[in-house]
Amino acid sequence: MATTTMSDFRIDPVSGLKINRTANKLVQWNAFAAVVFLLVGGLFGLLVALTRMPSVQLLPPELFYMALTAHGLVNLAVWIIFFEMAVLYFLGAHVLGNRLATPAFAWAQFWLMLVGAALVAVAVLGGKSSVMMTSYPPLQAEPHFYLGLILFAVGALIGCFVFLGTLVVAKRDNTYQGSLPLVVFGGVTACVIAVFTIVSGALILIPTFLWSIGLIGSIDPMVYRVVWWAFGHSSQQINVVAHISIWYLIASLVFGAKPMSEKVSRGAFLLYILFLQLGSAHHLLSDPGLSSAWKILNTSYMIYLAVLASMIHGLTVPGSIEVAQRRKGIDTGLFTWLRKAPWGNPIFSGMFLSLVGFGFIGGITGVVMSVEQINMVIHNTMYLPGHFHGTLVAGTTMAFMAVTYWLIPVVFQRKIALAGVAKLQPYVFSLGAWVMSIGLMGAGTLGVQRRHADITFAGQPLAYEYPEIAKGLMDLSEIFGVIMAVGAIMFILVVLASIFTGERIAEDSAPWPKVEDADVTAAKAGNKHIGAWGMEAPGTFVLAMILFVTIVLYYFINFKYLSTVWGLS
């Protein structure tokens, strides 16, 4: 067993963390790959947006379906999972002053994922694998499509076990005392959910691959969907856990915030571990054959316990910021703590925009859509992409972008270049994502279907015309989709400029000023934390109540709408 010497580690002047050089390389390579794929997937997304604008319709249908398949896979799977590998290694190694358990396996993770992604890209761009990200049989892609996905998944699985092994090393080498830090526990949560996700994917994609090369006669479409969605939806739930961990991290980095209650936050992560994957049933609510009992128990994540967990994090993250601000003396009124937050710092603004976007746009709509009966008036309409751009783009991607502004100095040892662009980026990106999501959901409520290259049914004898306003909403939404793409390009420009031309931060340079832990500041100043109404985070409570009232109203509005359609039983 190799022993590590001091030169294997460096003390990072930006964060104060003790960073292992090999682990750092792996974080760099995974993060960089992630950003490259964000760009590639984003460009396909731009082509999709320009085609789905009824007034533009850029691509002809066959190319559109190919671009849509590429956009879905690259952005939903490749960009995000590469970034999450970087995050896991960062949490397991850098945050714990630790080395990676088995760097050789970590490199295997990277290369398998890269080769897998490349194979899928070749298959999709070849034009005969336009089966959408979901690749439902009997639609069949070329064998290397499935093989690429399998290799990608195996790589990710290896990464998960490298992370878990890394935690074992940290414990054994005593690099930390007591329990894992909260954000690392969030990493554990993401990782174990990822294992379920990937195993489910393998269970279904391997037989499907064998079918594509003729070794298996057929794949039952319902069996495929049940098992595939254990992979498909759960992979997105990993993102939720990852971005929530990042929110907690940023709250501490920017404000010196401390978790309001380790028990509550970790308990909420436990609810995720147990029940989050059950939400895969959301995709099967309008399917035949599955019992209502199965649908109700699974779609509710077990009587909504995982939703409870999300609502908890939705309060405790901003709550911890409010408490930190109040302890530092910004203790007046209900929202002064928020007004006086550093809105010009993209690490914070991106994080908070992610929180609000995920909660109000993605979260509320997700809870409502996942009601078994309401799903009937939503399923496979544009409401779906509207919802998941609210969760994945306004939420997860925005959070990942925000933390990248901090990771670049720490991991790449470069100062942020184009700082002015970085400052604006979260606002541009979020504006685009929020309005696009809301607009698409509006179009979906008016019936516009998913994955259509052309919504006019032009030239069809049984022609149907969506209401004019639906087409208008599609135009509007996709214009904001373009704005969102501009926001993404701004991010990529900042990242590339910083990594390649940003001012280097010498290893031995003076430590950067660190934000003092809020309770240390409070103790020194003798601040008595006041809050209001006996609560230490009253402003956050008010914001949470606004979210709550919105959910309740929206829930009943949707049931009212459901009750007006044809009787169904």
Binds other proteins by CB under 8 A, chosen from 20, 212, 320, 437: 320
DSSP H helical ranges for 300-418: 301-327, 336-339, 346-356, 364-369, 383-391, 398-407
Q: How many residues are present in the chain?
A: 569
Binds other proteins by CB under 8 A, chosen from 109, 200, 235, 239: 200
Euclidean distance between CA atoms 90 and 68, whole angstroms: 32
Could you say which residues in the range 483-542 bind other proteins, by CB under 8 A? Answer: 517, 519-520, 534-538, 540-541
Residue 373 is a binding residue for other proteins (CB under 8 A): yes
Buried b (16+ CB within 10 A) or exposed e, 377-389: bbbebbbbbbbbb
Q: How far is the CB of 99 from other proteins (least distance, A)?
A: 18
Residue 256 is a binding residue for other proteins (CB under 8 A): yes
CB atoms within 10 A of CB 430: 25
Binds other proteins by CB under 8 A, chosen from 25, 330, 452, 475: 452
Contact yes or no for 353/243 (Cβ under 8 A)? no
Residue 223 is a binding residue for other proteins (CB under 8 A): yes
Euclidean distance between CA atoms 179 and 185, whole angstroms: 9
Residue 216 is a binding residue for other proteins (CB under 8 A): no
Binds other proteins by CB under 8 A, chosen from 53, 180, 347, 422: 180
Distance of CA 20 to the CA centre of its chain: 27
The dihedral of CA 137, 50, 235, 122: what is its sign? Answer: positive
Binds other proteins by CB under 8 A, chosen from 43, 58, 118, 308: 308
**Which stretch, 109-117, 209-217, 225-233, 490-498, contacts other proteins (CB under 8 A)?**
225-233
Binds other proteins by CB under 8 A, chosen from 466, 480, 488, 494: 466
Cis omega (within 30 of 0) on the bond before 137?
A: no
Residue among 195 and 505 whose Cβ is closer to other proteins:
195
Residue 196 is a binding residue for other proteins (CB under 8 A): yes
Residue 467 is a binding residue for other proteins (CB under 8 A): yes
Could you say which residues in the range 401-440 bind other proteins, by CB under 8 A? Answer: none
Euclidean distance between CA atoms 124 and 258, whole angstroms: 46
- Identify the CA nearest to 455 among candidates 3, 56, 8, 31: 56
DSSP-assigned states of every residue in 415-474: PPSSHHHHHHHHHHHHHHHHHHHHHHHHHHHTTPBTT-S-TT-TT-TT-----HHHHHHH
- If DSSP codes are grouped into helix, strand and coil, which group holds residue 96? coil
Residue that has been written with the tokens 């035949």 in this structure:
288
Contact yes or no for 440/382 (Cβ under 8 A)? yes
**Which stretch, 344-352, 373-381, 416-424, 428-436, contacts other proteins (CB under 8 A)?**
373-381
Residue 207 is a binding residue for other proteins (CB under 8 A): no
Count interface residues toward other proteins (CB under 8 A).
145
Q: How far is the CB of 47 from other proteins (least distance, A)?
A: 16
Could you say which residues in the range 146-165 bind other proteins, by CB under 8 A? Answer: 164
Query: In whole angstroms, how far apart are CA 260 and each of 129, 141, 307, 319, 323?
Result: 49, 49, 19, 7, 8
Q: How far is the CB of 505 from other proteins (least distance, A)?
A: 20
Residue 88 is a binding residue for other proteins (CB under 8 A): no
Residue 263 is a binding residue for other proteins (CB under 8 A): yes
Q: How far is the CB of 13 from other proteins (least distance, A)?
A: 17
Euclidean distance between CA atoms 349 and 425, whole angstroms: 9
Euclidean distance between CA atoms 275 and 281, whole angstroms: 12
**Which stretch, 114-122, 170-178, 385-393, 481-489, contacts other proteins (CB under 8 A)?**
170-178
Residue 343 is a binding residue for other proteins (CB under 8 A): no
Residue among 256 and 487 whose Cβ is closer to other proteins:
256
Could you say which residues in the range 91-130 bind other proteins, by CB under 8 A? Answer: 95
Binds other proteins by CB under 8 A, chosen from 307, 369, 393, 495: 307
